[in-house]
Structure 1
């Protein structure tokens, strides 16, 4: 039986409170009971006095005592700002009881936990929440529950529509994420059940991912997990019963949520666009929310080292602009909401890569962004056109009839994942990486502009519009935009995928269609001398599950005469 314990420790934050040190109390494994009788347990960090304070609640499936938790938000810092910190294991995880089934109980358990925290003698009745990824979704579920004591949330790196973020992207399954996340959570679940041998088998499977042993089974079904009897991230349940998507959906509930939110994202985060969309929708609805986007990946340490690119000390989450930090931004936001006053800064704070500067904005997307076409032509050329149609080069992408390029797919040798906004095994690192090996492949089409004559800022959502003749009944269209530096390195900026399926289940290679691929968003200024480069491919494996588990096919891409192009949000130079 797990019993609560009480310990004392001393912390000091001279720069953020009037005292040089504060005596703290840590109570571990404090129980509460949900409406259906399940005991959930939390650790509570609070000043060792009788004062009632607002409470900061974190609900996690990753062990409330994890050493990674302070990387995101140190409970001692929160206490120095006048908050009690409650970190709870969600149902079926850590020391909490009940069945582990991702997402299923988070709405009701979120309501019950917030209400319980608000009623404790250390709390003044006001609760705020924070955390990233799954922890961000627990905040949205609590907000969707309508629990009145929840005054503000700070969801970091969290999706909006699960079918375009965590379960799937553009119709293709988020295979790399699903496999690694499900094995990692499955290991601890099996240990919890006392099945050490099965947990070790899961560990061996996980280690095999680093040797390239990612399974390429049909989307939504991973036999490994079925054999081990552990749940996946939710895709298998969603395919069997689409109604279960509502358990982790945010987008469908935003119109009913009036809880102010501090949205935190990264340009190389796997859930970036959901973060941006959630913020934009809340602002449309008149909810007093704020947005911070750095150059970061899906990492809790907000490091300025993103893949092989380092964006400078001021880009880090612990030293934002050398004047702030992610932790400080949280409490400035919470303090303002609880005091019922506006936050004294612009609603949007973005990091512009290339310039490596933070910039405040009044809205997202930026109203001054001008749509610019990057047209894909024959001879591997791409041409930038201004909003008025003028070319940035002396020649058009194609002056004659539209050309046709062939794009091949071979299931046994898919295009490998190299960087990007992902969350996979460590052997597939996230972030910004040189794409030279990808560009050498015969199954990747590459288009490159001339060197830029002047700086070019791209800030906003990027989309690809392709005129194609698919070579299979089901095909994935993967598009990537890169920045080519003067030294020749081709660094990925954004990418995306769209899965195309014929209505009758047969390939019609004679029929043309337009495929739109959402590459999501970025903010970067390219210096003069840089070039833009575009990749087209039929796969990005194991990040996205293959459209065909075996076999091969050839598709056509129409080029020139405006058939295939990239939509870029270009920011005009300052006057």
Structure 2
């Protein structure tokens, strides 16, 4: 694997740290992956994409790891993503772009696509997307996800670098306090300071996203990857149903027996581990199912099958 080149992007109020992995072999295009989970930790993914012909720019989001500025989750990703594409284009990195990411990084990809001219974007790949503040705090039926959010925010949501995970007993107790006395009581019990409390309050006061309004007019092809055991599965399906709805089907769904870490529960004869990785790469290369189709790995039959995406639940 070759050493990536530093790629800083000055933008309003921050300098965004990035690493550029140059393609090898025949060039397919450019991939942008913006993450709060440390650009350095994504070198394996970026290297794999580079080996398949993609120039891959991996960037720390504002206020995280190598990027300066203030870390406010779900606040700056549309503007910072657009600024990054503009800076990369000005530096001679040709598009159109594939906007790629998992979990929070999927949010950054979706938001960048929302504000860019469609000619600048070839496709979006959103793996187990964490769509927004409300959508991460509640499941698709509106039920609060106290344990999941206490775990994520205590590690990733409060500072430039990660905090250690809460001990299991502490997390259990905090979850119980949240369920009985409310989420604010839980973080007061944990001893969060006033700034951390304000961030937490913003999370729990956020309104649901109107996915049809936000993404319904986009014509860019979208691949949504979701799993049966992912807490965001319902929201991911609603995203796929809503995306480009004003234009007709624009999203493809890839699903199977895995959770948020995309680790499969089954192996599939003749299909490796049964994970989605090779199918994602196929889709990026123009292979695989088209828009309006869900390609699903059946955990009982241990084989892939295609179905039409249900658009009735789009919100």
TM > 0.5 fold call: yes
The question of whether the paired residues in 1 share the 8 Å contact of 2:227 and 2:260 is answered with yes
2:294 to 348, 353, 365: 348
1:44 is aligned to 20
C-alpha distance in structure 2 between counterparts of 1:61 and 1:86, whole Å: 14
2-structure distance, mates of 1:82, 1:90: 25
1:59 equivalenced with 2:5 (yes/no): no
Alignment check: 8 A CA contact 2:298 2:304 kept: yes
Work out whether 1:101 is the aligned partner of 2:72. yes
> What is the aligned partner in structure 2 of residue 291 from structure 1?
253
Give 1:220 deviation, angstroms: 3.8
- 1:254–1:187 distance in 2 versus 1, CA, 3 Å: closer
TM-score (norm 1): 0.47
Structure 1 unmatched runs, 5+: 1-8, 10-23, 193-198, 306-310, 337-342, 368-460, 462-575
- Unaligned residue ranges in structure 2 (runs of 5+): none
Cα offset for 1:235? 5.5
Following the alignment from structure 2 to structure 1, what is the Cα–Cα distance between the partners of residues 126 and 220?
Answer: 11
Which residue number in structure 1 is paired with residue 101 of structure 2? Answer: 131
C-alpha separation in 2, matches of 1:269 and 1:288: 23
Q: 1:226 to 1:171 in 2, by over 3 A?
A: farther
TM-score (norm 2): 0.82
Q: What's the CA shift for 1:93?
A: 0.1
CA distance, structure 2, for counterparts of residue 39 and residue 82 of structure 1:
28
Distance in 2 (CA, whole Å) between partners of 1:54 and 1:32 is 20
Q: How does 1:440-451 map to 2 (within 5 A)?
A: none
Residue 82 of structure 2 corresponds to residue 111 of structure 1: yes
Alignment of 1:222-301 (within 5 A): 222-224=187-189, 227-229=192-194, 231=196, 236-240=201-205, 242=206, 250-282=211-243, 284=245, 285-299=247-261
Q: Is the 8 A contact 1:60 1:87 kept in 2?
A: yes
Superposed displacement of residue 60, structure 1: 0.4
- Check if 1:364 corresponds to 2:314: no
2:137/2:204 contact within 8 Å kept: no
- Report how many aligned residue pairs link the two structures: 303
The change in CA–CA distance for 1:209 and 1:183 in structure 2 (over 3 A counts) is: farther
Please state whether the residue corresponding to 1:66 is helix, strand or coil: helix
2:282 is aligned with 1:332? yes
Q: Secondary structure, in 3 states, of the residue corresponding to 1:97?
A: coil
Report the CA distance shift for 1:31/1:211 in structure 2 as closer, same or farther (over 3 A): closer
Q: 1:158 to 1:251 in 2, by over 3 A?
A: farther
Task: Pick closer, same or farther for the CA change 1:147–1:314 going to 2, 3 Å.
Answer: farther
Q: 1:188 deviation in Å? A: 4.9
Does the C-alpha gap of structure 1 residues 366 and 183 become closer, same or farther in structure 2, counting only changes over 3 Å? closer
Q: Residues 227 and 277 from structure 1, CA distance in 2 versus in 1: closer, same or farther, beyond 3 angstroms?
A: closer
Shift of 1:334: 2.7
Root mean square deviation, CA, Å: 3.3
Q: Is the 8 A contact 1:43 1:87 kept in 2?
A: yes
Contact persistence 2:241–2:309 (CA under 8 A): yes
Tell me the residue number matched to 2:182: 219
Higher share in strand: 1
> CA contact under 8 A between 1:260 and 1:289: conserved in structure 2?
yes
Q: Secondary structure at the match of 1:214?
A: helix
Task: Work out whether residues 293 and 350 of structure 1, in 8 Å CA contact, stay in contact via their aligned partners in 2.
Answer: yes
Give 1:158 deviation, angstroms. 1.5
After TM superposition, give the deviation of residue 238 of structure 1 in Å. 4.6
Deviates more, 1:84-93 or 1:269-278: 269-278
Q: Which has the larger radius of gyration?
A: 1
1:139 shift after superposition: 1.0
- What's 1:19 paired with? none
Which structure shows the higher helix fraction?
A: 2
1:107, distance to aligned residue in structure 2 (A): 1.2
CA contact (8 A) 2:24 2:50 kept: no
